[in-house]
Copies of this chain bind each other. A is one copy, B any other.
Amino acid sequence: MLSMRRKVTPFRPPARRRLHEDVAQQLRDAIIDGRYRAGSKLPPERELAEEFRVNRTSVREAIKVLEGLGLVSVRQGDGATVQPLTDASLDVLAPMILHGGKVDLALLEEMNEVVSLLMYEMARLAIERFRSEQVGELRRLRDVMADTTLEVEARFAAGRDVIVLLSDITGNRVWQMLARRVRGFLASEPLRETRRHLQRDPGRVVPVIDACLAAIEAGKPKDAIDALRQALQIIGQPPSQPVRAGGRSR
């Protein structure tokens, strides 16, 4: 039926990164894993530098990143104190969901509750403020998502772009910023890996888009919003069983 197309470009981006990024990621994961508890202190910079076999500068830049994520609080003379994960930036959510190679399904579902509610409200506003000249781009993205001859990742990317497009339609800059953060979040490696694990299908939401487009063209935006609400019931809940179609063995 649908041929699961192999990756055309099996290349991985070179893992060559900046030193402090590597250090920051390791420390970040250590905090997420609970190896450093909230309230406790990170080892002194000089000590970390020695352990990582790296200059103190790199450690400092790494800690600066952690501070920006709200994972630690740094005070001169005192050290870097680990903060509760609930106080951290949403940017750490992705590595929290997938850490140690395991998917935290409970957290994934909690994330789903928030994101789907968020996206529903945003889409609702977008439908109310829709202007006809914006329909073309939405239709184009829909076609990409539905095209099973394309790579899975490209189709997912189109789905994420729909989110950004809807935010642009709202004409609200805060929705625009939020949507772009959500896009980045969904495009992050941990979330991709999670989707691979759950074997999600990018075409899942195409019927919803079709229903909305049809309703809008029929001049019945209310129906489009209803279709969205119904979709929440479907998309909001991860399938209890992995999708069966086209299963890959690994």
Contact = CB atoms under 8 A, between A and B. Distances in A.
Interface in A109-152: 110-111, 113-114, 117-118, 121, 125
A173 B107 contact: yes
Given A61-B61, A61-B64, A121-B121, A90 B173 contact: no
A7 B161 CA distance: 49
A86 B173 contact: yes
A89 interface: yes
B172 A90 contact: no
A186 interface: no
B114 A178 contact: yes
Number of identical monomers bound together in the oligomeric complex: 2
Interface residues of A, number: 36
A176 B86 contact: yes
B88 A177 contact: yes
A187 interface: no
A180 interface: yes
A227 interface: no
A93 interface: yes
Contacts of A175: 110, 113-114
A172 B114 contact: yes
**Top 9 A-B residue pairs of the complex, sorted by shortest distance between their CB atoms:** A68-B68, A110-B172, A114-B174, A110-B174, A86-B176, A111-B174, A117-B121, A64-B64, A87-B180
17 contacts: A20-B64, A57-B57, A60-B61, A61-B64, A65-B68, A86-B180, A87-B177, A87-B180, A89-B89, A90-B174, A90-B178, A110-B174, A110-B175, A113-B175, A114-B174, A114-B175, A114-B178
